[in-house]
Amino acid sequence: MSQRGRGRGRGGGRQGTGGPKECVCPKCGIRIPHVRGVPCLNTDCPKCGSKMMPSN
Ligand SMILES: [Zn+2]
């Protein structure tokens, strides 16, 4: 949906390369900011406790 430019978006991206910006819970749909160094799949949903999925 976003046309924010894939690839080298270095002009103010604080994320660095690769990795989602958010993790989303496939169960309840909540989104949380992705913590760098911690894969979404290793993150538990704060709401329902399911494993989070990366959301790009
Ligand atoms: Zn959840």
Beta carbons of 15 and 23 less than 8 angstroms apart: no
State in Å: Cα 17 to ligand 1 middle.
Answer: 26
Q: Do the Cβ atoms of 29 and 46 come closer than 8 Å?
A: no
Provide the pLDDT confidence category of residue 26 given band limits of 50, 70 and 90.
very high
Domain ranges of the chain: 22-55
Could you report the per-residue pLDDT of 27-36, keeping only the tens digit for each? 999 999 998 8
Q: Could you tell me the two tokens for 11?
A: 């002009």
pLDDT of residue 1: 64
- Give the pLDDT of residue 47: 96
CA of 47 from ligand 1 middle (Å) equals 5
8 CA to centre of ligand 1 in angstroms: 32
What pLDDT does residue 56 have?
76
CA distances from 12 to 8, 9, 53 (A): 11, 8, 25
